[in-house]
Amino acid sequence: MAETDRIESQAKLVREARGIDKDPVGYARRRRILFTILGFGVPILILGFWQIAAQNGWINAKFYPSPLDNLRQLRQMFDKRDFASDLGLTLKRLAWGWLWGSLSGVVFAYVLGMSRVVRAAFEPTLNALYTVPKIALLTPFLIIFGFKDKPVIILISVTVFFFVWVPTQAGVMSVSESYREAATSFGANGWQMFRHVIWPATLPGLFVTLRVAASVSVLSVIGIEFAYAPRSKGLGYVINTARQTFEPRIAYAGIFVAALIGVIFQAIVKQVGHLVVRWEKDDRGAPTV
């Protein structure tokens, strides 16, 4: 009787082969197609419902113009050379702000994460600055750096810096002590510890952080251009002006462009992460970065 129970219990552990077991390559391809359809399908459904609601008078088209009306407005804006100039300036500020903020955040994160002395010296000051609303720094930055693009770029960099520094330093400090001890037992110095232990262990999390920072940089540049736009140029300035003059089509078109910039920027950082962090896969072989 006991032998029969044992055989039955073992039989319960055997499951029928699923799609991923029979054809892992085909299963992964089908999943990618499904996720792509879902990713594009949800916003298309939302826009479709919005279009139907505006056409049938379910919502006030004066305040909520239909997506097609906004798209036509966007095309008219691109036909004008001024909007292309606004967009170009915003992209320039965004790129430089994200780049310098990310670089400085990464450097501080690894230095402070690996050195208790440096961390004790700088972390209290950085924590104090972290709590300051970054938009409040705009006025002193304008006084110090002048009334051009430089204070805008620096303010974006400062905002991005903290979003990169905090989680990356936490990742450095959370690297398993057993890995550090193993490297030390083999005679690894500080550089070798960083190169062969800390860097590979934290790189996947770093690229996730950089994707978040990409979105934060878009939020920052649009918000700053609401408050101050050098030469009265920039996507944020266009949206804010449309709000003041009650031109909702221009405002919605600008918001759409800002969202598109964020999506593309995140996708670029994510793709770079896939290329760099090739070893980080989930249990089905899909990239996790």
Residue 204 included in any domain = yes
Residue 30 included in any domain = yes
Amino acid 106 reads V
Residue 213 included in any domain = yes
Q: Which domain holds residue 26?
A: 1-64
pLDDT at 9: 54
Residue 201 included in any domain = yes
Residue 283 included in any domain = no
CB contact at 8 A, 209 and 168? yes
Q: Is 287 helix (H, G, I), strand (E, B) or coil?
A: strand
Whether residues 196 and 247 fall in one domain: yes
User: Can you spell out the DSSP letters for 122-146?
Assistant: HHHHHHHHHTS-GGGGHHHHHHHH-
* CATH classification of the domain holding 272: 1.10.3720.10
Give the domain-ending residue among 35, 64, 93.
64
Whether residues 168 and 255 fall in one domain: yes
Residue 281 included in any domain = no
Q: How many CB atoms lie within 10 A of CB 203?
A: 16
Residue 52 included in any domain = yes
Residue 167 included in any domain = yes
Phi, psi of 267 (to 5 degrees): -65, -40
Whether residues 59 and 164 fall in one domain: no
Whether residues 158 and 196 fall in one domain: yes
Whether residues 60 and 190 fall in one domain: no
Whether residues 9 and 75 fall in one domain: no
Nearest-CA neighbor of 141 among 125, 157, 130, 126?
A: 157
Whether residues 13 and 129 fall in one domain: no
Q: CB-based contacts of 105: which residues, under 8 Å, 6+ apart?
A: 160, 161, 162, 163, 164, 165, 168, 213
Give the domain-ending residue among 17, 46, 64.
64
Whether residues 60 and 77 fall in one domain: no
Whether residues 213 and 118 fall in one domain: yes
Whether residues 125 and 251 fall in one domain: yes
Cα–Cα distances in angstroms (integers) from residue 231 to residues 65, 87, 91, 241, in the given order: 30, 13, 15, 14
Amino acid 52 reads I
Whether residues 189 and 56 fall in one domain: no
Q: At CA 193, angle to CA 190 and CA 195, rounded to 5?
A: 110
Whether residues 265 and 144 fall in one domain: yes
pTM of the model: 0.82
Q: CB-based contacts of 229: which residues, under 8 Å, 6+ apart?
A: 236, 237
pLDDT tens for the chain, 289 residues long, are: 555 555 555 555 555 556 555 667 777 788 888 888 988 899 999 999 999 998 888 988 888 899 999 899 888 888 876 888 889 999 999 999 999 999 999 999 999 998 899 999 999 999 999 999 988 999 999 999 988 889 999 999 999 999 999 999 999 999 888 888 888 888 888 888 888 888 888 999 999 999 999 999 999 999 999 988 887 788 999 999 998 888 999 999 999 999 999 999 999 999 998 888 876 655 445 555 5
pLDDT at 118: 93
Q: Is 14 helix (H, G, I), strand (E, B) or coil?
A: coil
Give the domain-ending residue among 9, 30, 64.
64
Domain count for the chain, please give it. 2
